[in-house]
């Protein structure tokens, strides 16, 4: 936890423990927060919190503990960061409502996933959790009109329409508003390629519900499906930010009504059982939230999941700045996909399924898919190399 990170060469074990104490949803963590805050490097702690996208969670826990003896300059810095985050959240909510209205008029069904929905489920407030974009799930059959509507609303498409018409599948359909920090990503059952087996999008739409964000109902996944999706998303990113285990821990602690048999079935349907096990074990080991009794036997019996948790705990504190090298990344994917033949099939699919990064610029709609698949592993080798 020293060099090669933006946190400088000095150790930050104490600041990391402080962050974990703040991210734990358990009331008993309040005592740890006060004890660790006594000799804290506050500038380093806030920088670490920002990199791990848990600034809002830290601010909430410090408020509960009476600021824990926080110096005035650090408190003012944290307040300024929270004002920025809250203003961003409000601007994104306004943009979300505009998009939902346009999609409603066009008859396009959509579901808001991750971001503000997770913040609401985990922390009771859509502005507590950091996020940088809006993620909307639509059916693949509706992706062309959905993209055209966002363009009509003033967003610039990262994926050319010609590529969509040619049937190319990107990692996500990304849209940016010129001169603003507003980003919208559209996802379909085909772009969620980190699901070990195909996403059952019709099941997700059938089980969807509506939640209240900023005084308005928005379409969201059911609680169990959102939990599974976030475990898959954390696995996709190697759980390299504390935000992702913290979300799982807070959802589990805050929602005793979770139907765990439904979680098991939803995970089984898409081959994500190990991803859910790892998410629950990280919530337990890092943040003290016990694996629910209904999941305990299968989760604790998964020795490979426990092994993967130990790996994550090794690289997690550096917030992605010391990622695992290529070989360890590949083995992580293989094991996370279930190991054996299913894990190998998962790894091969991810290694050979081109995304927009593999398309030739200016020839997105004409490029050979076979040639793009062949080039992809070599691009990944160049990107991650031996040092990650």
List per-residue pLDDT tens for the chain, 388 residues long: 444 566 666 678 999 999 999 999 998 887 788 888 888 999 999 999 999 999 999 999 999 888 778 999 999 999 999 999 999 999 999 999 999 999 999 999 999 999 999 999 999 999 999 999 999 999 999 999 999 999 999 999 999 999 999 888 999 999 999 887 889 999 999 999 999 999 999 999 999 999 999 999 999 999 999 999 999 999 999 999 999 999 999 999 999 999 999 999 999 999 999 999 999 999 999 999 999 999 999 999 999 999 999 999 999 999 988 888 889 999 999 999 999 999 999 999 999 888 888 776 766 666 677 777 777 888 787 877 755 4
| Predicted local distance difference test score (pLDDT) of residue 312 | 97
Q: What CA–CA distance (Å, rounded) separates 6 from 47? A: 9
pLDDT tens, position by position, 141-176: 999 999 999 999 999 999 999 999 988 899 999 999
What whole-number distance in Å separates Cα of residue 77 and Cα of residue 349?
A: 45
CA distances from 305 to 38, 225, 308, 357 (A): 35, 20, 5, 30
Give the list of residues 6+ apart from residue 347 with CB closer than 8 angstroms, or none.
330, 333, 334, 337
DSSP 147-184: HHHHHHTTEEESS-HHHHHTT---S-EEEEETTS--EE
Question: Of the candidates 319, 296, 300, 289, which has an alpha carbon nearest to the alpha carbon of residue 21?
Answer: 289
Name which of 384, 383, 373 is nearest 351 in CA terms. Answer: 373
DSSP 242: T
Residues 6+ apart with CB under 8 A from 314: none
- Overall pTM surpassing 0.75 (yes/no): yes
Query: 298 burial class (0-12, 13-18, 19+ CB within 10 angstroms)?
Result: middle
- Are the C-beta atoms of residues 247 and 227 closer than 8 Å to each other? no
At residue 360, the pLDDT reads 67
- What is the greatest pairwise CA distance in the chain? 61
Q: Quote the CA–CA distance of 245 and 240 in Å, as a whole number.
A: 9
């Amino acid at each position: 936890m020293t060099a090669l990170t933006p946190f400088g060469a000095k150790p930050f074990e104490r600041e990391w423990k402080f962050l974990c104490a703040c991210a734990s949803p358990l009331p008993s963590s309040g005592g740890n927060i006060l004890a660790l805050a006594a000799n804290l490097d506050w500038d380093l702690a806030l920088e670490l919190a920002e990199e791990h996208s848990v600034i809002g969670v830290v601010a909430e826990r410090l408020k509960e503990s009476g600021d824990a003896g926080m110096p005035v300059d650090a408190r003012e810095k944290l307040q300024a960061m929270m004002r920025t985050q809250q203003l961003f959240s409000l601007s994104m909510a306004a943009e979300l409502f505009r998009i939902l209205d346009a999609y409603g008029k066009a008859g396009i069904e959509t579901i808001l996933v991750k971001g503000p929905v997770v913040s609401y489920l985990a922390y009771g407030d859509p502005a507590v959790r950091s996020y940088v974009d809006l993620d909307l799930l639509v059916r693949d059959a509706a992706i062309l009109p959905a993209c055209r509507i966002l363009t009509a609303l003033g967003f610039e498409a990262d994926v050319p329409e010609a590529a969509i018409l040619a049937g190319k599948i990107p990692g996500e359909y990304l849209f940016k508003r010129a001169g603003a920090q507003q980003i919208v990503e559209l996802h379909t059952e085909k772009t969620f390629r980190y699901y070990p087996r195909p996403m059952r999008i019709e099941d997700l739409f059938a089980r969807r519900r509506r939640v209240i964000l900023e005084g308005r109902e928005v379409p969201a996944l059911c609680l169990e499906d959102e939990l599974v999706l976030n475990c898959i998303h954390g696995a996709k990113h190697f759980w390299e930010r504390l935000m992702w285990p913290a979300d799982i821990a807070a959802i589990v602690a805050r929602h005793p009504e979770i139907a765990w048999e439904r979680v098991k079935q939803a995970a089984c349907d898409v081959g994500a059982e190990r991803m859910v096990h790892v998410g629950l074990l990280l919530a337990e080991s890092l943040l003290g939230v016990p694996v629910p009794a209904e999941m305990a036997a299968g989760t604790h019996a998964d020795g490979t999941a426990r092994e993967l948790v130990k790996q994550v705990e090794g690289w997690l504190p550096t917030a992605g700045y010391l990622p695992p090298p290529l070989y360890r990344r590949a083995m992580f994917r293989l094991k996370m996909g279930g190991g054996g033949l299913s894990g190998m099939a998962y790894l091969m699919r991810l290694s050979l399924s081109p995304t927009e990064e593999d398309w030739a610029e200016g020839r997105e709609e004409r490029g050979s898919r076979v040639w793009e698949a062949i080039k992809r592993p070599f691009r990944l080798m160049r990107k991650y190399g031996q040092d990650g």
